Amino acid sequence: MTAPTNRSAWEMDRSHALHPWTNFGPFEDQGALVITRGEGCHLWDDRGNRYFDAVGGLWCTNIGLGRAEMAEAIADQARRLAFSNTFVDMTNDPSARLAAKLADLAPGDLNRVHFTTGGSTAVDTAARMVQYYQSCMGRPEKGHLVARDHSYHGSTYLSQSIGKRPGDRVEQFRYKEDGIHHLSVPNPYRAPDGMDEAAFCDHLVAEFEALIAHVGADRIGGFFAEPIQASGGVIVPPQGYLRRMWEVCQRHDILFVADEVVTAFGRLGHWFASWDEFGVQPDIICTAKGLTSGYIPMGAMIFSDRIWQAMAADGARWFTSGFTYAGHPVACAAALKNIEIMEREDLLGNATRVGALFETRMKALEALPLIGQVRGKKLMVCVESVADKATRALLQDEADVGKRISDACEAMGLMVRPIGHLNVMSPPLVITADDVDFIGDTLETAIRRVA
Ligand code: PLP
């Protein structure tokens, strides 16, 4: 192809890159915003504009950007040992130390760690592990998986088939349909008419029981759930829902897989939210994002001693799954430093304290025209726009209103993420009370302009 001469990043990108989750039309017209620098909660573009990044990268820049000690830890490890695989019988020091650290931080007997390249590959591997474990237990038929509508579990073929956000299933792609079942989204704001939260919770649990009766408990092996459904719209389930779904799983030997790709590493003020926030002891936790605060790609699947023992009972078995970069020493060194910083600066405590202010300030936006509901917990919040607050009917330009609000925010130096008629936020855990005021005031102005 043509040799580049003085081409701008914007132009090269627009001519050659296929971005993730891209709508071709607007991309061809406008190209992309070129980000050149990040520090703390702020980003700068190539024209020198500064933005407060309330998106937190993509639910991931938990310790904030531009940390010199992260750069040093990464460079130091790259100089010492940039790569060594962890297949079969090899390991490296940061990988071993990180596995032990995660076992320490994870709830209950989740003492076993399998490293992946990100969240999708953690979920994908968990689905395979469910089937492997159930087979080892003498139940090879228990291969069906259950998840929920509006969930997002990643972008590999299998993890995307487990997820099911509205609008994601375009006709050009195929999805695995057989053996994957989706229950209703546990969104109290859109509960069937007349149902209060407690009745809705009963209804959702009964739906799960009915599915098990229909498909057969002897065929269902795993239930996948984000404790709070993140990009499906920050859906905080009814009180007690997760625990009751977990109890159903326990009664039927269904593994509970908590997708904590977003909710772990402080976003809800805990290392992991399943137990500390919702009283659920999962069999498997999938995580990524805040594990390295986005400094390096990495994920992990953390699973129980019980699963390990079942799989290891016959020492001649092979777990034939894994990625070249599993336990990558540089990624593990970054994760270890990231966790050390969170501990030293009590960022989980900050997420709890400032998260409470954030929740309250954002909730006040419900008084504005256009805003049907503001929901979320701590540093995970979503603003939902509607045409009619009483009926909760959606706007005619439902697909665009979030983008119009985020564009108005961007013009005032604030980034919030549009997803159709929603705007979601997941700021870094280093956020301050002043930042909360800035986000609240800016978003309020933007909503008034758009309404
Ligand atoms: N699970 C959840 C809940 C997520 O939000 C995401 C990404 O946003 C994933 C899984 C996939 O993670 P990754 O993009 O690192 O593959």
Residue ranges per domain, the chain?
A: 33-63+346-450, 70-344
Is 262 exposed, middle or buried, given 0-12, 13-18 or 19+ CB atoms closer than 10 A? buried
Question: From the CB of 152, is ligand 1 less than 6 Å away?
Answer: yes
Q: Which CATH number fits domain 70-344: 3.20.20.140, 3.10.129.10, 3.40.190.80, 3.40.640.10?
A: 3.40.640.10
Tell how far the Cα of 120 is from the centroid of ligand 1, in angstroms: 6
Tell how far the Cα of 271 is from the centroid of ligand 1, in angstroms: 17
3-class DSSP state for residue 404? helix
3-class DSSP state for residue 115? strand
Neighbours of 229 (CB within 10 A): 26
Question: From the CB of 288, is ligand 1 less than 6 Å away?
Answer: yes
pTM: 0.97
Tell how far the Cα of 301 is from the centroid of ligand 1, in angstroms: 13
Sign of the C-alpha dihedral, residues 183, 187, 191, 197? positive
Could you state, in chain order, the average pLDDT of each consecutive group of 10 residues for the chain (451 residues)? 77 95 90 97 98 98 98 98 96 98 98 98 98 97 98 97 92 93 98 94 98 98 98 98 98 98 98 98 98 98 98 90 98 99 98 98 97 98 97 89 97 97 98 98 98 93
Question: From the CB of 259, is ligand 1 less than 6 Å away?
Answer: yes
Question: From the CB of 226, is ligand 1 less than 6 Å away?
Answer: yes
Question: From the CB of 263, is ligand 1 less than 6 Å away?
Answer: no
Question: From the CB of 120, is ligand 1 less than 6 Å away?
Answer: yes
Q: What is the pLDDT of residue 167?
A: 86
Within 225-293, residue ranges assigned H as helices are 241-251, 273-278
Q: What is the mean pLDDT of the chain?
A: 96
Tell how far the Cα of 261 is from the centroid of ligand 1, in angstroms: 6
3-class DSSP state for residue 305? helix
Q: What is the pLDDT of residue 314?
A: 85
Q: What is the pLDDT of residue 270?
A: 98
Fold classification of 33-63+346-450 (topology level): Aspartate Aminotransferase, domain 1 (3.90.1150)
Tokens describing residue 350: 């900050």
Q: Whose CA is nearest to atom 1 of ligand 1?
A: 153
- The tens digit of pLDDT for each residue in 311-355 reads 999 888 899 999 999 999 999 999 999 999 999 999 999 999 999
Number of H helices, E strands in the chain: 15, 15
Q: Which of 402, 72, 401 is nearest to 231 (CA)?
A: 402
Mutate to test the pocket of ligand 1, among 125, 289, 301 (most ligand atoms within 8 A of CB): 289
Could you give the C-alpha distances from 368 to 386, 398, 414, 446, in angstroms and in order? 11, 17, 19, 11
> Nearest-5° angle of CA 437, CA 440, CA 441?
85
Residues in the chain: 451
Question: From the CB of 119, is ligand 1 less than 6 Å away?
Answer: yes
Question: From the CB of 298, is ligand 1 less than 6 Å away?
Answer: no
Within 31-118, residue ranges assigned H as helices are 56-59, 68-80, 93-105
Tell how far the Cα of 251 is from the centroid of ligand 1, in angstroms: 29
Question: From the CB of 165, is ligand 1 less than 6 Å away?
Answer: no
Tell how far the Cα of 362 is from the centroid of ligand 1, in angstroms: 24
Q: What is the pLDDT of residue 226?
A: 98
- The tens digit of pLDDT for each residue in 204-263 reads 999 999 999 999 999 999 999 999 999 999 999 999 999 999 999 999 999 999 999 999
Question: From the CB of 65, is ligand 1 less than 6 Å away?
Answer: no
Q: Whose CA is nearest to atom 8 of ligand 1?
A: 154
How many whole angstroms separate alpha carbon 419 and alpha carbon 62?
21
Q: What is the pLDDT of residue 303?
A: 98
